Structure 1
Amino acid sequence: MCPILGKMAYSTAELIQILANERQACLKGERLKIAATASGNPIVDRFIKSDGIQKFDAYQDFKAAVHCYQQEYGVSGIVWRQLTLKGKSISYPEIDSQLIALPQDLEILKLAKESIVSFWHEVTIEMDLYRSVTHGKDYRLTTLDQVNKIAQRMEWANLCKWEKANFLEILLQLGWGQPESAAYNRELPIAGSEYIHAVNPGQRPIC
């Protein structure tokens, strides 16, 4: 039994709001995990500000309990996104960044991968393609053939865009395993992501 939530029928949207509220409370210092230390070494920890670690750990503990609740009561982590680019629109499933994917959620993501990748192809024609390298610290030019090879071995896809007056970047995330873990490649090889950035010719990715 997950101890933090008394109500037995929270929706996905309600869990997202609960987590947002709790995160704010932790940031304000209203929630602290007093036992949390930065390194576990008492000599080193004397020189590290502890309240930030205590706030972070308090929120992580609460988030883990919400993930437990999701699994116990079968609450989906999926939210539906709408993206419009160059006169084309797509509605697609995404796991909220603070929730986990249930097994049935992962199946929905897998079924949506082809349509997401196809949409990305349509809106990135004649754009320069870059692949994230060195954990997102740099970018390397790539080709559509290489992107397609990466996409074939991945389980799911996600989209994001950054747009200004003279700039457009369309990000395609291709991943496997739990999206919550895959975003930062924290649990390789169980979960992970490749990021492909499409930008207008002559420009470089900014995200």
Structure 2
Amino acid sequence: MTYSTKELIDFLEMELKATWSGKRLIFNTSEKLDNPVVSKALDMDKTGRVFIFRDFRRQIHEYQEKNNVSGLIKRKITFQGKSFSFPEVYNQLIAIEGDKKFLMEAKTSVLDFWKEVTEGMKYYLSEDRENPLTPEQLEELYEEAEWAELDTGKDEVYLGLCWGNPNEYVNQWAQPESGCKRIIASYNKPSSISI
């Protein structure tokens, strides 16, 4: 029997709780850190817990790849009484081969929901909250993206227009091969919330 995505998430949550409650011990933390100066400055008990969980998570990722278990979950968001579900990679799992295809297939419906709930709003790149995007700039960004993701605040909607490797796109070092442009939709100037 192969474990499901949901079961792997449950295992990760149980392991994280056990690790942080001190139920897991690691004896070679300073060896794993491989820096004697830093290891003297850190609380090695807490550092060891990070290593334990990281090693467990790596084993889960290997299991995913070996058994072809998707890292995608269905994410549900609600904005102004309208709800929408779309696939996204769970933050403690990895996308396996084929997951990117599902993300890409959902792009149109994600953009349709975004356009519906943000009608009448202004659009800003997260790195430039002073100058609204023109409709032409927005369309160009839509076209360049391979998949899209959403998040909401009380009065704002956030769109991620992503490309490249679904396991690396959130990392700055992965650019320009992988990345994500973040757009904020707001009636007024966008808040200073980091997205």
TM-score bucket of the superposed structures, by smaller chain = 0.7 to 0.9
Gaps of 5+ in 2: none
Query: Match for 1:152 among 129, 143, 154?
Result: 143
1:132-147 aligned within 5 A? 132-133=126-127, 139=129, 141-143=131-133, 144-147=135-138
Greater share of helix residues, 1 or 2? 2
**Are 1:64 and 2:58 matched, yes or no?**
yes
TM-score by length of 2: 0.84
Greater share of strand residues, 1 or 2? 1
Distance verdict in 2 for CA 1:146–1:28, change over 3 Å: farther
**Are 1:117 and 2:107 matched, yes or no?**
no
Query: Match for 1:52 among 46, 51, 59?
Result: 46
| 1:5 aligned residue | none
SS of corresponding position for 2:41: coil
**Are 1:162 and 2:153 matched, yes or no?**
yes
Contact 2:61-2:93 at 8 Å conserved across structures: yes
Contact 2:129-2:190 at 8 Å conserved across structures: no
Count of aligned positions:
192
Contact 2:151-2:159 at 8 Å conserved across structures: yes
Distance verdict in 2 for CA 1:34–1:183, change over 3 Å: farther
- Which segment drifts farther, 54-63 or 30-39? 30-39
- % identical equivalent positions: 35
| 1:81 aligned residue | 75
Distance verdict in 2 for CA 1:69–1:174, change over 3 Å: same
Q: CA deviation at 1:23?
A: 1.2
Contact 1:162-1:169 at 8 Å conserved across structures: yes
